[in-house]
Amino acid sequence: MDQAQKVVSELLSNPVNVGLIGLIVFLVYKIVRGQKEPVGPAPDPPLSKLKKQDFTLEQLREFDGTGPEGRVLMAVNGKVFDVTRGKNFYGPNGPYSVFAGRDASRGLAMFSVSEDVIREEYDDLSDLDNEQMERVREWEQQLSEKYDYVGKLLRPGEQAADYEVEEEENSASSERAAGEAKKTE
């Protein structure tokens, strides 16, 4: 017991040692406590994949992240992407929330998240210069690599495509090709 008392006495006699012991005890406490408590709120369960469809600007506005599902869609260069996975960026209170449920092309081309840049009517982007259009294409490429393409943004008067018929035809075509491949084996 004498030896243990000597070690404790030696450790507590120096203020630096006392500070280090306090720091170690605090860090161990944080590690143990941190393992018991979740870091943040539980993530939202993933939404089912949205069926491919085309959208008017009015229909697109319904997907600004404030609806019952919380789904966020965004159009870039005539293509509509489901950016719900990036809701922290594009959803309500996110840094790019101005783009949620809208055509973000002009804002992305001009590096602006200002409401003033976003058009409420269909924007054909014809007044953008080559450099700005290149930025729009780059954003379109980045979004297509990260998020699901769910359809196109319709011009005024344009009719939506029937993707169910298209998918049935593609499925039937794939089945025929598979059947022919088996015949040749």
Using one digit for the tens of pLDDT, what is the confidence trace for 100-112? Answer: 999 999 999 999 9
Q: What is the pLDDT of residue 168?
A: 56
176 in a structural domain: no
Least confident of 42-56, 108-122, 147-161: 42-56
Binning pLDDT at 50, 70 and 90, where does residue 162 land?
confident
More confidently predicted of 43 and 46: 46
- Is 173 a residue whose pLDDT tops 60? no
50 in a structural domain: no
- Is 71 a residue whose pLDDT tops 80? yes
51 in a structural domain: no
> Are 61 and 28 part of one and the same domain?
no
> Are 90 and 121 part of one and the same domain?
yes
7 in a structural domain: yes
Q: What is the pLDDT of residue 31?
A: 81
> Are 73 and 138 part of one and the same domain?
yes
Q: What is the pLDDT of residue 166?
A: 59
> Are 30 and 76 part of one and the same domain?
no
Instruction: Provide the domain limits for residue 16.
Output: 2-36
* Contact between residue 113 and residue 139 where contact means Cβ atoms under 8 Å apart: no
> Are 83 and 137 part of one and the same domain?
yes
93 in a structural domain: yes
17 in a structural domain: yes
Indicate yes or no: pTM above 0.75.
Answer: no
> Are 27 and 66 part of one and the same domain?
no
109 in a structural domain: yes
Q: How many CA atoms lie within 13 A of 66 on its CB side?
A: 11
Number of Cβ within 10 Å of residue 183's Cβ equals 6
> Are 68 and 143 part of one and the same domain?
yes
* Contact between residue 118 and residue 61 where contact means Cβ atoms under 8 Å apart: no
> Are 30 and 70 part of one and the same domain?
no
CATH number for the domain spanning 107: value is: 3.10.120.10
42 in a structural domain: no
Give the span between the Cα atoms of 99 and 115, in whole angstroms.
Answer: 9
Q: What is the pLDDT of residue 18?
A: 77
Report which of 88, 110, 114 is spatially closest to residue 99, judged by C-alpha positions.
Answer: 114
Count of domains for the chain: 2
**Structure-block tokens of residue 91:** 């959803």
Least confident of 31-40, 99-108, 115-124, 132-141: 31-40
> Are 21 and 82 part of one and the same domain?
no
- Is 52 a residue whose pLDDT tops 70? yes
- Is 33 a residue whose pLDDT tops 80? no
The amino acid present at 83, given as its one-letter code, is V
> Are 142 and 64 part of one and the same domain?
yes
